[in-house]
A and B are shown apart, each in its own frame.
Chain A
Amino acid sequence: MTTTTKPDAVTAVPIENSLTAGRLPAPAPWIILGAAIGVGAAIFGVLALAGNEFNWGGAIIVGALLYIPSIWLFSMLVEGRRRAMDRLVTALVTGAFVLAMIPLISLTITVVTYGLARFDAEFFNSSMRNVTGEGGGALHAIVGTLLITGAAAVISIPIGLMTSIYLVEYGRGRLARGITFLVDVMTGIPSIVAGLFAYALFSIFLGPGTRTGIAGSVALAVLMIPVVVRSSEEMLRLVPNELREAAYALGVPKWLTIVKVVLPTSIAGITTGITLAVARVIGETAPLLIAAGFTASMNYNLFDGRMSSLPVFVYTQYANQGNPPEAYLDRAWAAALTLILIVMALNLIARLVARFFAPKFGR
């Protein structure tokens, strides 16, 4: 092996150089970021002089936009193409994250500030029965949401999980391909169609026009199953075959291998997927409006009578405001806040479960 055949770029790194050669000093990115935001502020400062209000958000966004090419440029000049690319991607990835935080923070602030107005005891111990104007609460909707979503989860988690197990562990050939295909089709069911379907289905059994909580649950389950299947399938596929083989070689039957090795290994991902699926449907409005209807009173029975849910409550409070409108809007926001808190709690529980079962990876 001779040096002459080495690729150019390798020899381009001069051996005599200290290993620190050609690096931007550690604080450089921060200095550049500060400068970029300074420039952004200057631009908007000039605009402010021209009579516009000084726009902090704009200054920071322009600054961030300036930072990305400038860090790339500086790094390109000092550190070369590859480091520059790395820094560019770091800036972009961080930027993507910050960008996504903007709507989140904006939403959170909106929901919390508006939602706190009616986030009081009455809101949680009253329904809307006989309430017009101010007062009232969403207890009926909270109970309804928990019951309807709970039932939807009870229907779809076993079906979804077992289906993904089938697809990953057993499925070969036609049936598996068919089911994969159908799950794909199922992701395409618009939520409102799911609502129409559930409504039509229960009309057959319980007479025309009936609206019940369970019909809402079925509608949500139709929406939830494909999400559960897809995400669990993805997670199950990530379990290395080595582990399955290790279990088989110990004479463990396939189903026990799945239950005791495959599922625990992927439980973190699966719970995340399930929480996401629950979160996905718990906020559905349109299908519940159609299938479960709307009531102002308490109803604890999934199988009889209309049942309110939080999204429907939010929607009707917003859409059909009476006098004074603020009372309706406040209730709508408070209900939205409640819904988010419920999902937050669910998420926390799922995380605890996941942490408890998660694989303990050392090295």
Chain B
Amino acid sequence: AANEGGAAPEESASTLSGNLVGAGASSQDAAQQSWIAGFQTANPDVTIDYDPSGSGAGRETFLEGASDFAGSDRAFNDEELAAGGFARCAPDSTIVELPLYISPIAVIFNVEGVDTLNLDAATIAGIFAGTITKWNDPAIAATNPDATLPDLAITPVHRSDDSGTTENFTEYLGAAAPDVWTYEADGVWPFEGGEAAQGTSGVVDAVTNGTGTIGYADASRAGDLGTVAVQVGDEFVSYSPEAAAAIVDASPFAEGRAEGDLAIELDRTSTEAGVYPVVLVSYLIACGTYAETENVELVTSYLSYIASPEGQDAAAADAGSAPISDTLREQITAAIDSIS
């Protein structure tokens, strides 16, 4: 191919070479492609493949030892960690989980003449639970006195596939509006009702092609659709990378985890100013200690690149993700350095 095998940039000081395989969450695929492109350009002898086969598949693949690292929309849970058996890692090794991909989830809708809506969590939950069925419902009108709301049925669109986006979204609804949203957080939409669509693209297409539709999707894909500003405390916050990064900083790490395992417990109910609580955090997962050392340098330098400001900015440009804050970066860098 014309873009391959060309002479390496002469000034490239890289001595890295080899083949790295990762698999997992498709949510971070666009970001991964951007990181891979950046990293491979700097290190022409390296080839990295990231298989966007899904978080579950990614974790399984990593467990089986068929990949060097995994991408996952959730961290391994305590039972899975206790069961262990990570084939690539040295026996007794811990694993390193890094929240390197933070993406706000936008609530998108398609109603003619309306570009943005202010909604509180209870109203959003009511819409998605099917208790609020018209766009001119008083609950919506109450927070949007200026909008001209049509007498139109609401078609809520959710993901038909099992996804981290759904899990994060329902977790937010359950935490912020526990009275309306009585379902448990889950990657699978918890009840029958509403329109289902496959993947982020499917949801975006369904919302775009339908009328009176509303859905949730990676913010980078919101495009020209109307978006919802979510009530946090007393103000309404539109999604933005900064606001998404802010909620991560405002949230604690999960307890009882090994060093380098930076699983985050998002505080969805945070009332801090300027945070946007509907976010998806996707992890990169690697071994604390690899059983075989040949790819360790490659893994650490790749992860370091991802964590670096250039890496995060590249993903922000290509995939619309939120760059991590410097505080988080310090912790992550420390964790990467511990990989051996």
Per the CB 8 Å criterion, the residue count for chain A at the interface is 37
Contact A132 B37 (CB under 8 A): yes
Using known A-B contacts A126-B1, A132-B318, A319-B201, determine if residue A290 contacts B53 with beta carbons closer than 8 Å: yes
Q: Is the CB of B51 within 8 A of A211?
A: yes
Asked if A208 and B87 make an inter-chain contact with CB atoms under 8 angstroms apart, the answer reads: yes
Contact A209 B67 (CB under 8 A): yes
Partner pick for B65 among A137, A209, A289, A305, CB 8 A cutoff: A209
CB-CB contacts below 8 Å: A192-218 with B: 207-211
Contacts of A187 in B (CB 8 A): none
Q: Chain B residues near A294 (CB, 8 Å)?
A: 49-53
- A306 partner residues in chain B, CB cutoff 8 A: 21, 49, 51
Contact of B51 with A129 in the complex, beta carbons under 8 Å: no
Are B2 and A126 in contact, with the CB atoms below 8 A? Answer: yes
From known contacts A319-B199, A321-B201, infer whether A130 and B3 are also in contact, taking CB-CB under 8 Å: yes
Q: Which B residues, 1 to 27, have Cβ-Cβ distances below 8 Å to chain A?
A: 1-4, 19, 21, 26
Q: Are B2 and A293 in contact (CB under 8 A)?
A: no
A127 is contacted by which of B1, B61, B199 (Cβ under 8 Å)?
B1
A11 to B: closest C-beta gap in Å = 63
Instruction: Determine if A320 and B26 form an interchain contact, defined as CB atoms under 8 angstroms apart.
Output: yes
Mask of A111-155 contacts with B, CB within 8 angstroms, 1/0:
000000000001001111111110011011000000000000000
Task: Give A122 to B2 CA distance when docked, in angstroms.
Answer: 8
- A131 contacts B3, C-beta separation under 8 Å: yes
Query: A323 contacts the other chain (Cβ, under 8 Å)?
Result: yes
Instruction: Say yes or no: B61 contacts A209, CB within 8 Å.
Output: yes
Residues of the B chain whose Cβ atoms lie less than 8 Å from the Cβ of A323 = 30, 220, 317-320
Min CB distance B12 to A, Å, is 13
The smallest beta-carbon distance between B59 and chain A, in angstroms, is 12
B40 x A129 contact (CB < 8 A): yes
Most buried by B among A133, A140, A296, A316: A296
What's the A-B contact tally at a CB cutoff of 8 Å?
A: 106
> In the complex, A254→B1 CA distance in Å?
50
On chain B, the residues within 8 Å of A208 by CB distance are 64-66, 87
Which chain A residue has the least Cβ–Cβ distance from B66?
A: A209
**Which of A209, A297, A316 neighbours the largest number of chain B CB atoms within 10 Å of its CB?**
A209
Residue count of chain B within 8 Å CB distance of chain A: 39
Interface assignment of B134: CB less than 8 Å from any CB of chain A? no
B155 to chain A, nearest CB (A): 22
Chain A residues with CB under 8 Å of B227's CB are none
Chain B residues near A219: list those with CB within 8 A.
Answer: none
What CA separation (Å) do A136 and B3 show in the bound complex?
Answer: 8
B256 at the interface (CB under 8 A from A): no
Residues in chain B near residue A318, CB distance under 8 A: 201
Contacts of B21 in A (CB 8 A): 306
Cβ < 8 Å to B, chain A residues 53-73:
none
Which residues of chain B have C-beta atoms less than 8 A from A211's C-beta? Answer: 51
Given contacts A318-B201, A323-B319, A139 and B33 within 8 Å (CB-CB): no
Closest-by-CB residue of B relative to A121 is: B2
Contact residues, A286-335 vs B (CB, 8 A) = 289-290, 293-298, 305-306, 316, 318-323, 325
Q: Which of chain B's residues 296-339 have a Cβ closer than 8 Å to chain A?
A: 314, 317-320
B136 contacts which chain A residues (CB < 8 A)?
none
CB under 8 Å from chain A, chain B span 26-46 = 26, 29-31, 33-34, 36-37, 40-41
- The closest CB in chain A to the CB of B28 belongs to A320
Kindly report which residue of chain A lies nearest to residue B198, judged by CB atoms: A319
A304 to B277, CA, bound (A): 44
Write out the residue numbers on chain A whose beta carbons fall within 8 Å of the beta carbon of B31.
322
In whole angstroms, what is the CA distance A218 to B65 when docked? 23
CB A307 to nearest CB in B, in angstroms, measures 10
Q: How many angstroms from the CA of A104 to the CA of B236 in the assembled complex? A: 48
- Identify which of B3, B199, B221 contacts A129 (C-beta below 8 A): B3
Nearest chain A residue, comparing its CB with the CB of B1: A127
Alpha-carbon gap, A311 to B41, bound state (A): 27
Chain A positions within 8 Å of B, measured between CB atoms, are 122, 125-133, 136-137, 139-140, 207-211, 289-290, 293-298, 305-306, 316, 318-323, 325
Query: What 9 A-B pairs are tightest by C-beta distance, nearest first?
Result: A209-B66, A322-B30, A320-B29, A127-B1, A125-B2, A130-B37, A208-B64, A126-B3, A132-B34
Since A306-B49, A322-B320, A323-B317 are in contact, a sample of 16 more A-B pairs with Cβ atoms closer than 8 Å, ordered by chain A residue number, is A126-B2, A130-B3, A130-B41, A131-B3, A132-B314, A133-B318, A137-B3, A208-B66, A297-B4, A316-B29, A320-B26, A320-B52, A322-B30, A322-B31, A322-B319, A323-B30
14 A-B contact pairs sorted by A residue (CB < 8 Å): A125-B1, A126-B2, A126-B3, A128-B33, A131-B3, A131-B37, A140-B1, A289-B53, A293-B51, A319-B26, A320-B30, A322-B30, A322-B31, A323-B30
